A and B are shown apart, each in its own frame.
Chain A
Amino acid sequence: MTVTVKPVRRRKASFLDRLYLPAIAKGLSITFMRMFKPKVTMQFPEERWTVRDEYRGMPVLVSDDEGRPKCVACSLCEFVCPPKAIFIVPDELEAGNNVERGPAVFDLNMLRCIYCGLCEEACPEEAIFMSKNYLVWGAEREDMIFHKDKLYELGGVREEGVKKWKDK
């Protein structure tokens, strides 16, 4: 295949173009005009976005109104999680708990999480929620794997929702 090259005729720079001063004056005029318009830049992280109710931030675990962890380690979130960010080891809870089963290990790998919210949707106990926290960071890889205690601390207490095991 032959390649045909078509030369483009360019306009020669005029005297004013070569002087550059009109272009500088035009640029500065825009800067001065902006000085008198309202600011749009947010001073992050001192200032934060207010996110909408349906915002999907980092998943967290919640406790019921009596402070009992709601997760029963059914592992449905682990099963449904597309990037396999959740790892659960179920365990038997001591007698006297309202439910027989809970997680011994609940690890959430935030390096993997894609914030899809399927874990929240799959949870039959309403124990895992997408929080509004979009600021997830860690200095090391290990910092980005959130363990059970931290997830419950971040989730706090949620009073509404399923309380299937309340009177067991």
Chain B
Amino acid sequence: MADVKTVFINGVEYPFDAGQTVIQVAHENGLDVPHYCYHPGLSIAGNCRICMVEVEGDAKPQVSCKLECAPPPWVSEPLRIQTESELAKSARAGTMEMLLVNHPLDCPICDQAGECHLQDYSYQLGQGQASSSTAKTKLPKNVAFGEKIVYDAERCIKCTLCVRFCEEVTETNELNLGGRGDEEIVIMSSKGEFETDYSMNIIDICPVGALTSRDFRFKSRLWFMDFADSVCTGCARGCNVITGGRNGSMMRMEPRHNADVNQWWMCDQGRLDYRYVNTPTRIATPRIKTADGVWAAATVDDAILAAAAALKAAGGNVLVDGGCTLEEMHLAQQLAAALGGKATYAAATGEADGFLRVAEQGANAAGAELLGLARATKAGAAAVLVVERDANVPQALRDGADAVVVFATDADHVPASAQVVFPFGSSAERDGLFVNTDGRVQVAQRNPGIGPDNLTPPYELLEEILGELDAGYDWHGRDGIVAAIQAQPAFAKISLPAAQATAEVGATS
């Protein structure tokens, strides 16, 4: 057998690993080969036929997702593939036309519009007019797949990605294909509800608008939304996500590929966890309690002065949410030292599900341990309290702290003892570093479309308060804070990404 280790795609020679198919090598090298039914995390079905390429010397085009780069044993020459030749293009255009024969083209009311592969490839390859004049098939629309997913059989192209996901990743087998010919649809098991908590991943992998989220249904068109790379703070796994929001409201969270953390997936619990961000009792501006015990809105500068004055009088400990960033935790430590107390963190413990979700709920609990913060298990006095989530810092801890300065997301989480309140945000609204349960440092980026306008980053507020305390603290900015954390012995073997680094950067200890 000839030992061929390379493949020519569009005239350029690329090396491949044993077993790799043409589409995998093409995607690895930045070539765009259209695909619907192919997903790098699932088995290869080869049923959508949109990834057809020309193999030089062959009369018929072949599907690149199933075509192995290694030539047959009797061939000693590398395969020569053309992805953009006339044959390949006409094969794909023909496939496109067949896929659109029964597609309702209801893009104006479809949530997938804007991230729909069918739309994209139709724009690239499709024709303005259909050759077929028969009426489109009528199939069930707005079918509930459990409580979280809506299925539209007319939009479905039967690529079976969702079926394969439930077979191979969750191994719960809730979905299958039923019916024949143009009446073939995806059907759900008779239970009518998913057993897995990972069901909403099928919405992401669905290349068309057949599977859409009940939660996100008709909320916003994609092109109005702002997106940012962030990290899920639902548990200490720290799944890489893309946050989406518009006009201050967070609208959805989608997993982002990271082979070392969450692959392509995330759990439904984490995905739908964002809703606390949009609470009607959200704190948008700093508040100071007046002498009459009434809350009054204050400017950031006034609130910083008031907080410093209150802390000089009170002194004491600092209690932070386990979902705070490394920067915030580091500054909490500095603040506690200046006040003559200790910094602790609080985090809930949940249940691990054996796949992605872990029992530790403090998204940055590992980071807190590295910094040397102790875990608060029972209520204790703390002058400064940072609350992002109710779950991490429950009411008993909040009320027991007797705090005077409070950073909170929700006005309902402010204890009665508070004198100055600063608005805090979810991880979608704060830049910062998180250390996940495996000790991996990850970057969360602020999404400008989410949260109150002009939200001052909490690390800046903490630095300003420290500066006002006359404790000899100099303003560092975020780069300086990260450098100070990096200089600590516990971080000697970890390289922290620079503050401006993109979210892809990550380092393991």
Contact with B along A100-121 (1 / 0, CB 8 A): 1100000000000000000000
Q: Which of B91-124 contact A (CB under 8 A)?
A: 106-109
Whether B108 lies near A79 (C-beta < 8 A) is: no
Let me know if B218 and A101 touch, CB within 8 A.
yes
Bitwise interface map of B from 213 to 257 toward A, beta carbon under 8 Å scored 1, else 0 = 000011111011000000000000000000000000000000000
Whether B142 contacts A125 by the Cβ 8 Å rule is no
Distance, CA A101 to CA B219, complexed state (A):
11
Q: Does B27 contact A (CB under 8 A)?
A: no
B141 at the interface (CB under 8 A from A): yes
Complex partner residue of B109 from A72, A78, A79, A95, CB under 8 angstroms: A72
Q: What's the least CB distance linking A75 to chain B, in Å?
A: 5
Asked if residues A92 and B108 are in contact (CB atoms below 8 Å), the reply is no
B109 touches A91 (CB 8 A): no
Q: Say whether A90 faces chain B, with CB atoms less than 8 Å apart.
A: yes
* A100-B141 contact, Cβ under 8 Å, with A75-B221, A92-B218: yes
In the complex, which residues of chain A have a beta carbon less than 8 angstroms from the beta carbon of B224? 75, 78-79
Given the complex, which residues of B lie within 8 Å of A99, measured CB to CB? 109
Task: Decide if B108 touches A90 in the complex (CB within 8 Å).
Answer: no
What's the nearest-Cβ distance from chain B to residue A78, in Å? 8
Pick from B106, B141, B142, B218: contact of A91, CB below 8 A.
B218
**Interface majority SS on B: helix, strand, loop or mixed?**
loop
**Which residues of chain B have C-beta atoms less than 8 A from A79's C-beta?**
221, 223-224
- Once the chains bind, are A124 and B108 in contact (CB under 8 Å)? yes
Per-residue contact bits, chain A 68-92, to B (CB 8 Å; 1 contact, 0 not): 0000111110110000000000111
* Contact residues in A for B142 (Cβ distance below 8 Å): 95, 100
Contact status A72-B141, CB under 8 Å: no
Size of A's binding interface in residues, CB under 8 A = 18
Instruction: Name the A residues within 8 Å of B218 (CB-CB).
Output: 73, 90-92, 101
Q: Which residues does chain A contribute within 8 Å of B109, judged by CB atoms?
A: 72-74, 99-101
Residues in chain A near residue B223, CB distance under 8 A: 79
Q: CB-nearest residue of chain A relative to B109? A: A101
**Min CB distance, B27 to chain A, in Å?**
31
A92 touches B217 (CB 8 A): yes
B175-234 interface (Cβ within 8 A of A): 217-221, 223-224
Per-position binary interface string of chain B over residues 266-284, scored 1 when its CB falls under 8 Å from any chain A CB and 0 otherwise: 0000000000000000000
Q: How far is the CA of A28 from the CA of B224 in the complex (A)?
A: 65
- Tell whether, in the assembled complex, residue A74 and residue B108 are in contact, meaning their CB atoms are under 8 Å apart: yes
| Residues of chain A from 7 to 50 with CB closer than 8 A to chain B in the complex | none
**A73: chain B residues within 8 A (beta carbon):** 109, 218
Task: Write out the residue numbers on chain A whose beta carbons fall within 8 Å of the beta carbon of B217.
Answer: 92
Q: Which residues of A contact B221 (CB under 8 A)?
A: 74-75, 79
**Complex Cα–Cα for A72 and B106 (A):** 10
CA–CA, A90 to B212, complex, Å? Answer: 15
What is the bound-complex CA distance between A124 and B221, given in angstroms? Answer: 15
Determine the residue in chain B with the shortest Cβ distance to A101: B109
- Note all chain B residues with C-beta closer than 8 A to A124: 107-108
Kindly list chain B residues whose C-beta atoms are within 8 Å of the C-beta of A92: 217-218
**Distance in Å: Cβ of A32 to nearest Cβ of chain B:** 65
Q: How far is the CA of A78 from the CA of B220 in the complex (A)?
A: 11
Name the B residues within 8 Å of A164 (CB-CB).
Answer: 106
Is the pair A125, B108 in contact by a Cβ cutoff of 8 Å? yes
Name the residue of chain B whose CB is nearest to the CB of A99. B109
A99 to B141, CA, bound (A): 10
How many whole Å from A35's CB to the nearest CB in chain B? 60
Complex: how many Å from CA A102 to CA B108? 11
* Interfacial chain B residues near A168, Cβ < 8 Å: 141
- Which of B106, B142, B218, B223: most chain A Cβ within 10 A? B218
Q: Which residues of B contact A91 (CB under 8 A)?
A: 218
- For residue A105, give the distance in angstroms from its CB to the closest CB of chain B: 12
* Measured CA separation A101–B108 after assembly (Å): 9
CB of B219 within 8 A of CB of A90, answer yes
Q: What separation, in Å, do the CA atoms of A100 and B217 have in the docked complex?
A: 11
Q: How far is the CA of A114 from the CA of B195 in the complex (A)?
A: 54
**B219 and A72: CB pair below 8 A?**
no
* A residues in contact with B106, CB < 8 Å: 164
CB distance from B152 to the nearest CB of A (A): 9
For residue A76, which residues in chain B have a CB less than 8 angstroms away from its CB?
Answer: 108
Choose among B106, B109, B219, B223 the residue with the greatest number of A CB atoms under 10 Å from its CB. Answer: B109
Cα distance, A100 to B106, chains bound together (Å): 11
Q: Which residue of A lies closest to B152 (CB)?
A: A100
Which residue of B has the minimal Cβ distance to A127? B108
In the complex, what residues of B have CB within 8 A of residue A100's CB? 109, 141-142
A29 to chain B, nearest CB (A): 66
Contacts of A90 in B (CB 8 A): 218-220
Name which of B106, B142, B224 has the most chain A CB atoms within 10 A of its CB: B106
User: Measured between alpha carbons, how far is A74 from B218 in the docked complex, in Å?
Assistant: 9
Q: Tell me which residues from 146 to 188 in chain B have a Cβ below 8 Å from any Cβ of chain A.
A: none
Give the CA-CA distance A164 to B219 in the complex, in Å. 22
- Please report the C-alpha to C-alpha distance between residue A99 and residue B109 in the assembled complex, in whole angstroms: 9
How many angstroms between the C-alpha atoms of A75 and B107 in the bound complex? 11
Q: Which residue of B lies closest to A90 (CB)?
A: B218
Nearest chain A residue, comparing its CB with the CB of B105: A164
Nearest CB of chain B from residue A28's CB, rounded to whole Å: 66
7 closest A-B pairs by CB: A74-B108, A101-B109, A90-B218, A75-B221, A72-B109, A124-B108, A72-B108
Supply 12 further A-B pairs (C-beta < 8 A) apart from A100-B142, A164-B106.
A72-B108, A73-B109, A74-B109, A76-B108, A79-B221, A79-B224, A90-B218, A90-B219, A91-B218, A100-B109, A101-B109, A125-B108
Q: Which residues of A contact B (CB under 8 A)?
A: 72-76, 78-79, 90-92, 95, 99-101, 124-125, 164, 168
| 20 A–B pairs (Cβ distance < 8 Å), ordered by A | A73-B109, A74-B109, A74-B221, A75-B220, A75-B224, A76-B108, A78-B224, A91-B218, A92-B217, A92-B218, A95-B142, A100-B109, A100-B141, A100-B142, A101-B218, A124-B107, A124-B108, A125-B108, A164-B106, A168-B141
- Residue positions of B touching A, CB distance < 8 A: 106-109, 141-142, 217-221, 223-224
